[in-house]
Chains A and B, each alone.
Chain A
Amino acid sequence: MNDERVFELLSAAADDDLTAAEQAELDEILSGSAEARRLQAELAQMERDLADTPELLPPPGLREQILRRVPQPRAGFSIADWLGELRFGAVLRYGFSAAFGALLAVAIYESQPQFGSASDITELVGTMAPDTDSNKRRVLDSFSFRDKGISSFARLEQRDRALLVDVRIDTTRVVDIKFDFSAAGYEFEALAQTLSNLESIQFSNKVLKVKGRGQRRFAVLLRSPDDDVLADEAQIHLEYSSNGKLLRQGMLSADRQNSSDE
């Protein structure tokens, strides 16, 4: 018996794509070979396993998110033409245009993703990073994570010779986040958070563990104990878990190509 041929026939049978001659060939093989029948049973089991794999529900809010991002339909008139038809003179027209522009800017600002806006740590409690007015800030990497009831965004920035990890979470359950700096060459120095405190904070030089639920935002400041350590080589490993179950691992790396000065 040729296993390859038997599997070919069984595969076609699974798709109801056997000719009469092929069906007769398969029947003959199956009646005379225990090995062929075993192969048939294995394939049938695989088909059942595939069929038993459940359909998944998309994350809540995905449809609305898509709809928000799909460009609005073009209306049947142009705003420029409409303004041109007004007979209130140039001043009013320009004034209206400016107001429209301002409204558009607000709309664009409001439509930004929840965690996608530029980092502003001034709302955090405590002073912990070099003054952003006098030091150029460089965004090195970012990481976003979304799962059932959990949404999180983390961004790695360079502030002078320090690194700053700006983290936001929005969860309906308690989530543990572990930051491992051991591969970064940097050490934990300080943590600042908004007035909504984290449930717990544990840290050593190389690892920081925090626990939070609801909307939380905090920033972690890291400093190099050694002037020879280059920020560009830093890597920070993140681990999100809930009730002892690992949800996601990720990494913030300073050597990615997408860094940008701000």
Chain B
Amino acid sequence: MSRDQENSLVAKCQQRDRQALETLISRYERPIYNAAFRMLGNSDEAADVTQTTFLKAFENIDRFDLERSFFSWIYRIALNEAIDQLKRGKRFEPYVETPADGAERPFERAARADVADRVQAALMDINADSRTVLVLRYFSDCSYRQIGEILDIPAKTVKSRLFSARQQLKARLGTELA
């Protein structure tokens, strides 16, 4: 979907076109959920953040500037929601497939888990700023420019954050990569 097509849908949403709204939800439900899940490591919280993101977006759709990118706007809402959720603190353990006895230590658990679990565990172990740029780069396929738009930072800062984030992630994944 081109930016023009997307903004045409947003303009229809501003005119209370229910069909356009459903199309936008269909387009963004999965990527927003995935970004939220990678930020939070928890399917329930990711679903809640996805829902809140759309509700906030449509609540404020009248204020959206059609000269801007809806993609960047809704991702910014989603990431802010996810970060707020992280700040509120987790009440429940993230869902990781582990034996019920809970005796296994995180490192041992990581060694047994598959690639996706190892990557997610490492992501959850780095700071939120670094996790955010990695999520946008690898799970949302964003360019430097798009990441900069979403986070409202210059492309140069995106580059340096990605450099630092990769260092952190590599350190967490450690010897697994040998």
Contacts and interface: CB of A to CB of B under 8 A. Distances in A.
Given A49-B119, A55-B34, A248-B92, A42 B55 contact: no
Interface string A68-94: 011111100000000000000000000
B177 A52 contact: no
Contact of B33 (A7, A42, A56, A144): A56
B115 A53 contact: yes
Contacts of B64: none
B25 A63 contact: yes
Interface in B16-45: 16-18, 21-22, 25-26, 29-30, 33-34, 37, 43-44
Contacts of B44: 144-147
Q: Secondary structure at chain A's binding surface: helix, strand, loop or mixed?
A: mixed
Q: Secondary structure at chain B's binding surface: helix, strand, loop or mixed?
A: helix
A11 to B, nearest CB: 4
Nearest to B93: A249
B95 A248 contact: yes
A59 B47 contact: yes
B76 interface: no
A45 B122 CA distance: 14
Contacts of A144: 44
A43 B30 contact: no
A58 interface: yes
A58 B29 contact: yes
A58 B54 CA distance: 14
Interface residues of A, number: 48
Nearest to B53: A66
Nearest to A147: B43
Contact of A67 (B25, B33, B47, B93): B25
B134 to A, nearest CB: 8
Given A56-B34, A246-B102, A63 B29 contact: yes
Contact of B173 (A11, A49, A251): A49
Nearest to A246: B100
B176 to A, nearest CB: 8
Among the interface residues A71, A145, A248, which one has the most CB atoms of the partner chain B within 10 A? A248
Contact of B163 (A11, A56, A239): A11
B108 interface: no
B100 A245 contact: yes
A146 B97 CA distance: 16
Nearest to B31: A55
Interface string A25-52: 0000000000000000011011001111
Contacts of A14: 166
30 contacts: A17-B159, A43-B170, A46-B166, A46-B169, A53-B119, A53-B120, A53-B138, A53-B139, A55-B34, A58-B50, A59-B43, A62-B33, A63-B25, A66-B29, A67-B25, A69-B51, A70-B21, A70-B54, A72-B18, A73-B17, A143-B91, A144-B44, A146-B43, A146-B44, A146-B47, A246-B97, A246-B98, A246-B100, A247-B95, A250-B91
Interface of A: 7-8, 11-12, 14-15, 17, 42-43, 45-46, 49-59, 62-63, 65-67, 69-74, 143-147, 239, 241, 244-251
Given A147-B44, A248-B93, 19 more contacts: A8-B163, A12-B163, A15-B144, A42-B178, A46-B169, A57-B30, A58-B33, A58-B47, A62-B33, A62-B50, A63-B29, A67-B22, A70-B55, A70-B58, A146-B43, A146-B47, A241-B100, A244-B100, A246-B100
